[in-house]
A and B are shown apart, each in its own frame.
Chain A
Amino acid sequence: GAGVSQTPSNKVTEKGKYVELRCDPISGHTALYWYRQSLGQGPEFLIYFQGTGAADDSGLPNDRFFAVRPEGSVSTLKIQRTERGDSAVYLCASSLTNSPGNTIYFGEGSWLTVV
């Protein structure tokens, strides 16, 4: 597709379960970002990939959160032992390169609800 694609769009899971959220960036974009947006708040940075490597994972809240991008395109955000506080919209974004001048394009997000 033309934009950043995220699946699933909605996910309800039980506390303690494992969740994977997928992001398909815009074709040709080398930089990929994950953000988390809680209700009534702005997005918060989680992790940034340049190619296959996680260039900056300083925003991951704890070791239950992990993300991969094995082939430099699709990325998966993995959350282990989910907690109710993990409920949020998880946003993926991509940009052509990691140059500060490049526009960052966001997907519509994956709504995660932990019950």
Chain B
Amino acid sequence: GNSVTQMEGPVTLSEEAFLTINCTYTATGYPSLFWYVQYPGEGLQLLLKATKADDKGSNKGFEATYRKETTSFHLEKGSVQVSDSAVYFCARTSGSARQLTFGSGTQLTVLP
């Protein structure tokens, strides 16, 4: 089936540290891949996406590259800020491309 496995948290980093949150997906079909972010007290927001192999999604200093050979879509940021503290969800489209399958989320806390 379609599933997403995400690095478990929580992750705690100091400001300006390098961030990687791992995400792998089952190689079923040709999914689009997403990272969503949920800030405290807010709804899910799309952070970035990639729709085909080798695409790189980027936004707000975050990047993720669609790696078909390793079925991965790891989220990276070179220098995190306190304001990046949130829960990050990796997601993929299903075979019908009309629904999203989410990972379990990774809580990130950035300390000043």
Contact = CB atoms under 8 A, between A and B. Distances in A.
Interface string A69-109: 00000000000000000000001010000101101111111
B43 A91 contact: yes
Contact of B99 (A4, A33, A40, A103): A33
Contacts of B101: 45
Contacts of B91: 42
B98 to A, nearest CB: 5
Interface residues of A, number: 28
Contact of B43 (A42, A59, A106): A106
A106 B89 CA distance: 13
B44 A91 contact: yes
A62 interface: no
Contacts of A91: 43-44
Nearest to A58: B99
Contacts, number: 58
B105 A106 contact: no
B97 A104 contact: no
B2 to A, nearest CB: 10
B51 A100 contact: yes
Nearest to B41: A108
B8 to A, nearest CB: 10
Contact of A43 (B46, B96, B102): B102
9 contacts: A40-B104, A45-B94, A45-B99, A45-B100, A48-B98, A59-B99, A93-B44, A104-B100, A108-B42
Interface of B: 4, 6, 32, 36, 42-46, 49, 51, 89, 91, 93-94, 96-105
Interface of A: 3-4, 31, 33, 35, 40-45, 48, 50, 55-56, 59, 91, 93, 98, 100-101, 103-109
